[in-house]
Amino acid sequence: MSLTDRTKPTDVALNTDLYELTMAQGFFESGLTETKACFNVFFRECPFDGGYAVACGTGQVAELVENFRFDEESIKYLSSLEAPGGGPLFKPVFLEYLRTFRMHISVWGVPEGEVVFPREPLLRVEGPVIDCQLIETALLNLVNFQTLVATKTARVVQAAEGHAVSDFGLRRAQGPDGGLAVARASYVGGAGSTSNCLAGRIYGIPVFGTHAHSWVMAFPTELDAFRAFAKSSPKNCTLLVDTYDVDHGIANAITVAKEMEAVGERLSAIRIDSGDLARLSKRARRAFDDADLPYVKISVSNDLDEYTIQSLLAQGAPIDSFGVGTKLATCDPQPSLGGVYKLSATKAPGENTWSPVIKLSEQAYKRTIPGIQHVLRFQDETGCPMGDLIVDDSYATGDMSTAVDVLDPYTTYDFSAWTPRELLYQLVEDGNRTGEPESIEIAKRRCRDALMRLDPATKRFLNPQTYPVGLESGLAHLRERLTAAERNSSGRK
């Protein structure tokens, strides 16, 4: 298969781990096609040792669900797979079931751009257990990486203190699809533009770029190269000045800037891609100001991240914009969010109520939260988030003012002074989207506003304040009761 036809929309059904399909076949043969299940997507720790994450990817869930089907090419492939012990891996009757399969799940999710915290659901999925199981990997693949990138970008943008940030990470991203995900999620997280033209076309993201070192090296002299680029792109002229020597590059850029002024044009900026960026940017600023060219901006790149940007500005570097590439696209130093998808309730055919379930573990922090969960975010009078409460209405005590910490049952929070709002909203009902998709601009504004209202102590890079997330007291009691029951039934103490 060539690069140009590597995927179709319906290929999402095979964008999965094999065990999702073997479990689905097992459920089918066990007569559980009518059994309902509830799963939750959540993460256990904030990425980058930070205090929050930015939800991203949830806005594409409805499209994923509607396209989830097995075409004839997929059925043919699955029928060709052999079991390790011999014979076909999938039985003809199950493949026939998949041939007419359509998703009948309902999904609730956190809006893109909203800040989120450990243990609370980013997505809640309800429906037939086979449907819920089959979509697990695709959902996690969609939400995990984009949430990680949006969070990384939000940190970079915070460090930039209002200076422009552009995604330059395509060439270092994890393949073509990874590059698109980076561009989309980084825009939600606060980047103002991307170098990725395909992302610009698909998502409507502003694109940005000028020239590379190869342009300068292709001409007899650096000055020749600058003059040629100014002539070719007078309305988009940023000159890369560090191909040979930054001081000479700045001098040549000043020469070209004066020549552009003489014909009614302006040099937009210079870019520095190596060396001591704080020292060199200060030297460049003085040179352009002394040449009566204060409007020429200074842009920098070169393996930037939030810590480097924070350090540069703390040193007083007169930098106007940052091109952030490798460390944004690869989410250095944390390559994965670690989001998981866990079963929290089941409902047998004919039953009207859900039966909560819990997963225990040899590691206490992996113990799950049972029930049909939704999240109340408590806000003060200015709209600033003060704490989140995970609730299952079937087990609620009626007291929504007290929360029991998700990890420590001896720690409680009093939310009585603040006003709650629902955090999850319905994206999909019985396999169909509930409304038109939001624009990426709405998600971007939501992220900006959410971070503006978040306590600075939660946003700081070093030892951030832990944001309160707790269980409603009835749900906390349910969790402890199920834990005790499972331990007793398994003989554990």
The predicted pLDDT at position 1 comes to 35
Residue 9: pLDDT band (50, 70, 90) is: low
pLDDT, residue 490, reads: 63
pLDDT at position 391: 97
What type of residue is 152?
Answer: K
- What is the distance between the alpha carbons of residues 371 and 68, in angstroms, rounded to a whole number? 26
Asked whether residue 6 carries a pLDDT value surpassing 60, the answer given is: no
**How would DSSP label each residue in 339-383?**
-EEEEEEEE-TT-SS-EE-----SSGGG----SS-EEEEEE-TTS
Given this model, what pLDDT does residue 99 score? 96
Count Cβ atoms within 10 A of the Cβ of residue 314 and give its class: 0-12 exposed, 13-18 middle, 19 or more buried: exposed
The answer for residues whose C-beta is within 8 angstroms of residue 217's C-beta and 6 or more apart is: 225, 243
Query: Domain 210-299 is classified in which CATH homologous superfamily?
Result: Aldolase class I (3.20.20.70)
Neighbours of 84 (CB within 10 A): 6
Reported confidence tier of residue 361, pLDDT bands at 50, 70, 90: confident
For residue range 157-208, list pLDDT tens digits in order: 999 999 999 999 999 999 999 999 999 999 999 999 999 999 999 999 999 9
pLDDT for res 117? 98
Residue 323's nearest CA partner among 217, 204, 448, 171 is: 171
Cis peptide upstream of residue 111 (ω within 30 degrees of 0): no
Residue 329 confidence (pLDDT) above 70: yes
Give me the mean pLDDT over the 432-447 stretch: 96
Mean pLDDT of the 462-472 span? 97
Task: Please determine, for residue 365, whether its predicted confidence score (pLDDT) is greater than 90.
Answer: no
Binning pLDDT at 50, 70 and 90, where does residue 153 land? very high
> How large is the average pLDDT for residues 60-68?
96
Residue 205: helix, strand or coil by DSSP? Answer: coil
Residue 360 to residue 343: CA distance in whole angstroms: 12
Computed from CA positions of residues 220, 222, 225, 230, in that sequence, does the dihedral angle turn out positive or negative? Answer: negative
What does the pLDDT read at residue 399? 85
| pLDDT at 2 > cutoff 50 | no
The string of pLDDT tens digits covering residues 96-126 is 999 999 999 999 999 999 999 999 999 999 9
Query: What is the secondary structure of 119-167 as a DSSP string?
Result: TS-SEEEEEEHHHHHHTHHHHHHHHHHHHHHHHHHHHHHHHHTTSEEEE
Length reported for the chain: 493
Residue range 247-290, pLDDT digits in tens: 999 999 999 999 999 999 999 999 999 999 999 999 999 999 99
